[in-house]
Amino acid sequence: MNAFHMLFEYAARLDRVGITVTRIGLVVVLVWIGSLKIFHYEDEGIVPFVANSPLMNFFYRQPAGEYRQHMNREGELVPANRAWHELNGTYRFAYGLGSVIVGYGVLIALHPWLPRVSAVGSFLVFVMSLTTLSFLVTTPECWVPNLGSSEHGFPLLSGAGRLVVKDVIMAGAALVTMADSAKAYLRTTV
């Protein structure tokens, strides 16, 4: 047997490690990103996604396009913009969303003790990822704007679009951990 074949045999045995690393990765990302929702810069950053989403825009009080005049760049403080976001419900919504996202991470982390609960958490993350991916269709800020260059629009993702498209990986990871937790639960019922 050659070294190349042995390497592949070793790699083939890493599936359990891969699932564990995937689960830990989901928990870390969900808890970290969800926890960031206590900071105004993060809350303001999701406004274009929520304001343009037909599934979520009712959470805000101001007309959908108005946010463009009140966006702070990350790290910037414009008190008038912060006041607008207070009136809009930006922060209140983000605190609730952050709590839900952290909760999903906690559900997934319960796999060793409550695999059925963990499977539900993974399913909810899968659904959340599909919702996030819908922003590619509803949020104009996901695409490079036409500011004079011939390089704009679909398929050229902006920073916001690159952030959103990563949820394809989150959806896949959630399906893997959901299936693994469901298998673990079913083993306990036999």
Residue 46 lies in a domain: yes
Residue 125 lies in a domain: yes
Q: What's the structural domain count of the chain?
A: 1
Residue 10 lies in a domain: no
Residue 7 lies in a domain: no
Residue 182 lies in a domain: yes
Predicted pLDDT at 190: 84
Predicted TM-score (pTM) of the model is: 0.94
Instruction: Give the residue numbers spanning the domain of 31.
Output: 15-188
Residue 8 lies in a domain: no
In Å, how far are 42, 87, 183, 184, 190 from 187, measured between CA atoms?
41, 51, 6, 5, 6
Q: Say whether pLDDT at 64 is over 90.
A: no
CA 120 to centroid of chain Cα atoms: 17
The CA angle 152-73-103, to the nearest 5 degrees, is: 100
Phi, psi of 152 (to 5 degrees): -155, 165
| 160-171: pLDDT as tens digits | 999 999 999 999
State the Rg of the chain over Cα: 20
Residue 124 lies in a domain: yes
| 70-114: pLDDT as tens digits | 999 999 999 999 999 999 999 999 999 999 999 999 999 999 999
178 and 123 Cβ atoms separated by less than 8 Å: yes
Listed in sequence order, the residues at least 6 apart from 22 whose beta carbon sits closer than 8 Å to its beta carbon are: 173, 176, 177
Q: Say whether pLDDT at 179 is over 90.
A: yes
Predicted pLDDT at 186: 98
Return the residue matching tokens 């928990």.
27
